[in-house]
Amino acid sequence: MIELHGIVKRYVLGEETVLALAGVDLHIGRNEYVALIGPSGSGKSTLMNLLGCLDSPSEGSYILNGRDTSSLSEDELAAVRNREIGFVFQSFHLLPRQTALQNVMQPLVYRRMPPLERRRLAIEALTKVGLGDRLDHRPNQLSGGQRQRVAVARALVGQPSILLADEPTGNLDSRTSAEIMALFDALHAQGQTVIVVTHEPDIAAHCRRTIRVFDGRIVEDTQNPARAA
């Protein structure tokens, strides 16, 4: 489903050119549960941005569901993000003035979906993450764990190919972290492809496959033993 071939990413910082990714080849199949780990500055975030179609590679090709995305325009990338990628961020990134329901409906707005349909799907997604009774709460009326659930619901509402989570438990205490990871496990069990970017080993341990990035290259790619539930 995801195929990266010879991905190189360079940034120009003033006079200097930084090589963030120095040739990455990667294949991730449907319904995989992948942890992307590596220290800061390793190119892990750059890789995540590329996978999430927030950025385009300098060289190489990124084939997502059989479509080469490396030469798409900015607006075409926006459409790909809208349909194929569900983002979950470390600091939730909810729209502060909007209710949980409105937050979850937002991606569907860009799909030109009629309001009633948006509402139905959003309620469904929020119910799925256990927040069916918090539809009209604003982010500041929700706990950290609940906010992250809203974010997960928002990521899932459009039925994306990939759930892409960037340090999803970084701002949560251990108990809430466990809840969120349990949610991810359940989603994976239902057939969702999940990629989690993290630096915490016990979060990575939830995943079935661990990809370690260092100095802009993949240095390790291992299958984890299935966890005893």
Which range touches another protein (CB under 8 A), out of 79-87, 137-145, 172-180, 221-229? 79-87
Q: What are phi and psi of 3, to 5 degrees?
A: -130, 120
Extract the tokens encoding 112.
């030109």
Only segment of 88-96, 130-138, 186-194, 211-219 that touches another protein (CB under 8 A): 88-96
Q: Are strands 85-88 and 162-166 parallel, antiparallel or unpaired?
A: parallel
| Backbone dihedral region for residue 5 (phi beyond 0: left; psi -120 to 50: alpha; all else: beta) | beta
Among 52, 145, 168, 216, binds another protein (CB under 8 A): 52
**CA 181 to CA 76: how far, in whole Å?**
32
Of the candidate residues 1, 31, 89, 135, the single one contacting another protein (CB under 8 A): 89
Contact flag: residue 61 with another protein (CB under 8 A):
no
Binding residue for another protein (CB under 8 A) from 27, 67, 97, 227? 97
Pick the piece of the chain touching another protein (CB under 8 A) from 64-72, 112-120, 128-136, 140-148.
112-120
Where b means 16+ CB within 10 Å and e means fewer, 175-197 reads: ebbbbbbebbbebbeeebbbbbb
Provide the minimum distance between the beta carbon of 146 and another protein in the complex, in angstroms, as a whole number: 18
d(CA 126, CA 145): 13
- Residues whose CB falls within 8 Å of the CB of residue 98, separated by 6 or more in sequence, listed in order: 106, 138, 139
The one segment of 20-28, 36-44, 71-79, 221-229 that binds another protein by CB under 8 A: 71-79
Does 168 interact with another protein (rule: CB under 8 A)? no
Please report whether residue 9 would count as binding another protein according to CB under 8 A: no
Distances (CA, A) of 75 to 66, 68, 79, 158: 19, 15, 6, 18
Q: For another protein, which residue of 18, 109, 182, 189 counts as binding (CB under 8 A)?
A: 109
> Which residues make up the interface to another protein (CB under 8 A)?
49, 52, 54-55, 74-75, 78-79, 81-83, 87, 89, 93-98, 106-107, 109-115, 154, 158
